[in-house]
Amino acid sequence: MSKVFAGMAASLDGYVATRNGDLSWLNQAMSSDEDYGFAATMKRTGAYIIGANTYREMIESGMAGGGTTPTYVVTHQQSIKGSGKEVGNEVSFYSGDLRMLVERAKRETNKDICLFGGADLVTQFIELDLLDELGISIIPVLLGDGVPFFGRFNEWKRLTLFECKEYKSGIVLLNYRFAHS
Amino acid sequence: MSKVFAGMAASLDGYVATRNGDLSWLNQAMSSDEDYGFAATMKRTGAYIIGANTYREMIESGMAGGGTTPTYVVTHQQSIKGSGKEVGNEVSFYSGDLRMLVERAKRETNKDICLFGGADLVTQFIELDLLDELGISIIPVLLGDGVPFFGRFNEWKRLTLFECKEYKSGIVLLNYRFAHS
């Protein structure tokens, strides 16, 4: 049974990005000697679900396109597709019900499904009990301001910690499971 | 040389309290079998520095008063003292410069100085480079809304992780040192 998982890096004060998109706080904290599991994450992933804003940022930074893993971009508009940028053959745009999207993705792969931001989409997935695993890499820095890594929930969500990994760089990876009601 | 340290428990989405003061998310997560270091913290503490609002909440919940450890309550007013509540002989109110308060507390004890909230005061201490250690216990719950555990900073603050302790309950204690410039 494939799982839906999300992973993110956040500052100790809970921000996933600065207001101006400066990533040096993250790049400076990471060490090239450490395995943060990116390769293992790619290997387990049979489909990506990505928010429209995050996807637009990926296109603009040259990080999107060319992959062979099915990728669903959740959007309320089709304008990204019309931007003329290369989006890859496996990318499709989706604007319907999120439960049905997860069902569709699960029909098409036996591997896991990676939810890749942003905060609004992750929050919606959590509210709808669609997220099975949440991994957070806590970067040893206080940013003081930025983009929060969660929106607001209507009720508390309890989690079960199943992995706590400390790196020499001071980064700590925390992996949680959600108990679905 | 005595150190100034702060410790707090926060939800995974970065809140130290709910808006209505409900502590059940914290009490339910903690296990009576686990040693969270409260006794060790009390033992190392030669003075407490507490924000006025936090102190008021402690008085109202019956948690303040009767201690023998010198306690400085940072306030802009003297009204708490006039509330008629028992505040203990070792409590004094302080409304001046925070650097001078730390110097004064360090003259009076060789033990460490515990900074005990709230977020505004902790943020001021961090901005002024007065905090040496920061301990955060991450509770495995998403609250969705609440009182954030930091205010905003003017610049990034890098930290050095020196302890990462995982409890069976899923609580993770992260202890950091600040590098003072």
Which residues, including other chains, have CB under 8 Å from residue B171's CB and lie 6 or more apart? B9, B29, B30, B34, B36, B137, B138, B139, B140
Q: Name the residue of chain A whose CA is nearest to B28's CA.
A: A158
To probe the interface with A, which of B161, B165, B168 has the most A CB atoms within 10 Å?
B161
Cβ-based burial of B157 (10 A; exposed 0-12, middle 13-18, buried ≥19): buried
Q: Name the residue of chain A whose CA is nearest to B140's CA.
A: A159
Q: Using a CB-CB distance cutoff of 8 angstroms, which residues of chain A are in contact with residue B161?
A: 140, 166, 170, 172
Between A and B, how many CB-CB pairs are < 8 A?
A: 95
pTM (two decimals): 0.90
Instruction: Note the Cα B32 to chain centre separation in Å.
Output: 21
pLDDT, tens digit (0-9, with 9 covering 90-100), for B118-133: 888 999 999 999 999 9
Using a CB–CB cut-off of 8 Å, the residues of B that contact A are: 12-14, 25, 126, 136, 138, 140-145, 148-150, 152-161, 164, 166, 170, 172, 174, 176
Structure tokens at A40: 């293992």
Q: Which pLDDT belongs to residue A84? A: 45
ipTM for this model: 0.88
* Amino acid symbol at B174: L
Residue with the larger pLDDT of the pair A79 and B9: B9
pLDDT, tens digit (0-9, with 9 covering 90-100), for A76-89: 765 555 444 445 56
Using a CB–CB cut-off of 8 Å, the residues of A that contact B are: 12-14, 25, 126, 136, 138, 140-145, 148-150, 152-161, 164, 166, 170, 172, 174, 176
